Amino acid sequence: MAASSTDLRPRRRPPGRVVDLHPISPARLLAVYLILAAGLSGLAVRLAWLQVVQAPTLQAKARAIQTHAQVPIGKRRTIVDRSGRLVALDEERYTLWAHPRYFNLPGDEPQKLRPAADVVELLAPVLALPPATLKGRIGGRRSGVKLATDLDPDTAERVRELGISGLDLEAYPQRLYPQGSLFANVVGFLNLERVPQAGLEQSRDRDLKRHESVLRMRRGADGTPLPEGLQAGVLYGDDLRLQLTLDARLQQVAQQALSKQVKQWKAKRGVALVMDVRNGELLALASTPTYDPNKFWQYNPGLFREWSVQDLYEPGSTFKPINLALALQEKAIDPNGRVNDTGSLSIGGWPIFNHDKRANGLIDFPTVLQVSSNVGMVKAMARVKRDRFWHWLHTLGIDAVPDTDLPGAVAGQLKDRQQFVSHPIEPAVAAFGQGFSLTPLKLLQMHAMLANGGRLVSPHITRGLRSGDALASPPAPSGVQLLDPAVTRVVLGWMESVVEKGSGKGAKLAAYRIGGKTGTAQKALNGVYIPGARICSFVSVLPIEDPRFAVLVVVDEPQGENAYGSTVALPVSRQIMEALLVLEKIPPSKPAAAAAPTPRPAA
C-alpha cells in the first residue's frame, strides 16, 4: 500500500535526549521571591500599624459598639430652709420632638406609616394645644420637629402612654424656686443656660453641683444593656441637700411687714435681719424691693444683689450702745456716771448738736440713750483716748470683710489711724455713729456681741450639706471674746431703758423684757451728706435676761417730716419680734422688778 501523504504516527525521540520546554531564569526566581517578601512585609507592617498605632482608636470604636453610655442630665442639689422646707430644687422638664417619617400607632403593622394628621388628633388634647398649631409646626418636614418644650413630668408620661412611634421626649433639668421672691435676695438664680448669676447659687456653685458621672454598661448583640461588669455603688444617687439657717415662716413675716412699711413711707428700700446671738445663725434676711427668681428676666438686674451685705451706710445712733460698751471696757466712764448735755458744742470749729437741738442738762448714760443725745455721746467718748477708740473700731472689724458665708460681703470704711487721732472731729462724730460706714450685717453682728456677753460671732445662713431628709441641729455657741460680759450686761440694761422710757417705747411687748435703740442718720454720698435724705433704723435684743436674738431693721430714704427710726423701722421690728417669740417658743420674761440687779463691771 502506498504511504499516506500525512503520517500521523508519533515520532520517537532519540534515546538519552531531554528537551526543556520552559526554562526558569535566576532573575525570574528572584522577582518572585521579592514579591512574596514584599507582600509578607506589607502584611506585617499593616498588622503592626493596627495593633500598635491604631489600637486605641479601634478599641474605642469597639467599646462604643459594645457599651451603652448613660450621660447624667446635670441636676443640682436641693436647697431647704432650717426646717426642711423647699427653697430651690431641680425638676425634670421635657422637649417633645417629632419624626413624621416614623409615625406609627399602637396596633398598626410595623411597616405601616401614619399621616401627621392622625398623630396630631391624639397629641393635641394631651399638650393642650390646638391641632392646627401642631400641624403648622410639623409642616412638610419629615424629621427633627420640635413640637413642644417645658413639658412637666405628668404631661410627658401621658405622651408616653399614647405609644406613638416617631415621638421623642428629651429630658432636661429646670431650676424651680417654690418660695418665689421670699429667698431671692440670698439664694439667687440660674439663667436659662443654667449658669448661676447671684446669691448662694453662685457662691456655693461647687457644693450645689451633684457629683454625677457617666454610667457605662455593656450591651448585647441586640443592644440590650447587660448588668455584667457593674461595680458596687455605681448606681448610687446623690441625695445631698444644702440646709439654710433661715426660717421660711419668719422670713415671710419680715418680708410682708417690711414691704408694707417701705410702701407706706415711699422709701427707696429696706432690710430686716434676725440673728441668733449665740452662734451667728441668721433666721431671717428679708429685703425689699425684690424679684421672682422663676421669672428673673422680667426684673431690673440691680435687684439681684443683697444690699444689706454689699452696701455701706453710716449707722448713726444705733451705734451708740457699742461705743458706750467700748468706753466701759476702757474704764473711761463709770456706769453710774453722768455727762452735761448742753444741746450743742463745737469741736475744732465744727458745730455738733442734738437732733432736736435741745439741752438735756446733767444726765446719766441710760438717759443718753433714751433721748439719743449726740452731745452726751461726744462728751462720754472724749474720755477714751483717741488711739484706743480707733483701736477698738479696728478690732471690731469695721474696716475688714466679715467672716460670713453670705455672698458678696464687703468691708466697711474707717479713717486711718493717723487721721482719726490727729483730727478731733473724727472721734467726735464717730461717737454718735457717723464719719465711718459699715453694712447692716456688720452692725447686727456687733449688737449680737453685746447680747451674748462680748463674743464676736460669724454671721452665716447655711448649715451645710445633709443627706436625704436629715437636718442639722443648731451649732454650739461660738465667737471670739472681745468684751467683758459684765460690761455688756450693763449696756443691755441701758438699752432696755430705751424701750421702757425712751424712743423705743413702741417696741414694748407684754411680759417680755426687750432692749433696743433707734437711729435716724443722715445719708452720705461720696463723703457729702444728701440734704433731707435719711436712713431710719431700729435694733433690738430679746429677751434681755437671757438674750437669744438680735433684730435689725433699716429703711433707706423714707419720705416725710415724721420719718424717724421710731416711726419707720420700729413697727417692723415689733411685728418680727412678736412672730419670733411664738415660733421659737420663748417663755415670758420675769418681771423686771424681780430680776437680779445688773452687776457693775470690774474696776
| Catalytic annotation, residues | 317
Q: Within a 13 Å sphere around the CA of 424, how many CA atoms are in the beta-carbon half? A: 12
Q: Which amino acid is at 465?
A: L
Q: How far is CA 365 from the centre of its chain?
A: 42
DSSP 463-518: EEEEETT--PPPPPP--EE-S-HHHHHHHHHHHHHHHHHSTTGGG-BTTB--EEEE
Buried b / exposed e across 102-135, counting CB within 10 Å, b at 16+? ebbbeeeeeeeebebeebbeebbebbeeeeeebe
Query: Which contacts (CB < 8 Å, 24+ apart) does range 77-80 have?
Result: 77/207, 77/208, 77/209, 77/210, 77/238, 77/240, 77/241, 77/242, 77/465, 78/241, 78/242, 79/187, 79/200, 79/208, 79/241, 79/242, 79/243, 79/244, 80/241, 80/242, 80/243, 80/244, 80/471
Q: Helix (H, G, I), strand (E, B), or coil: what is residue 227?
A: coil
The DSSP code for 386 is H
List % helix, strand, coil for the chain (3-state, nearest 5): 35, 25, 40
Whether a cis peptide bond, with omega within 30° of 0, leads into 289 is yes
Decide: 599 and 453 in contact? Cβ < 8 Å: no
CB neighbour list of residue 262: distance below 8 Å, 6 or more residues apart:
269, 270, 288, 289, 555, 558
Query: Which contacts (CB < 8 Å, 24+ apart) does range 116-123 have?
Result: 119/164, 119/166, 119/167, 122/162, 122/164, 123/147, 123/159, 123/162, 123/164, 123/167
